Amino acid sequence: MITPNEVEDVLHYFYNNHDNRSSVIAKNLNLKLRSVNYIIDLHLSRKKNYMGVKPNYNEFKKEKGKKVAVYDEGNNFIGEYESLRQCANELNVNEGCISKFIRGYHSKGVVNHNNGKKYSYSIVNN
Q: Output the pLDDT for position 112.
A: 78
Q: Is the whole-model pTM more than 0.75?
A: no
Q: What is the mean pLDDT of residues 5-22?
A: 89
The model's pLDDT over 75-116, given as tens digits with 9 standing for 90+, comes to 899 999 988 888 889 988 888 888 888 887 766 677 877 778
Q: Which residues of 62-92 are buried (b: 16+ CB within 10 A; e: fewer)?
A: eeeeebbebbeeeeeeeeebeebeebbeebe
* 67 contacts 123 by C-beta, under 8 angstroms: yes
**CATH topology for 4-56?**
Arc Repressor Mutant, subunit A (1.10.10)
Angle at 41 between CA 40 and CA 47, to 5 degrees: 95
Greater confidence (122 vs 60) lies with 122
Does the domain at residues 68-123 carry the CATH identifier 1.10.10? yes
Domain boundaries, the chain: 4-56, 68-123
C-alpha 14/C-alpha 25 separation (Å) is: 7
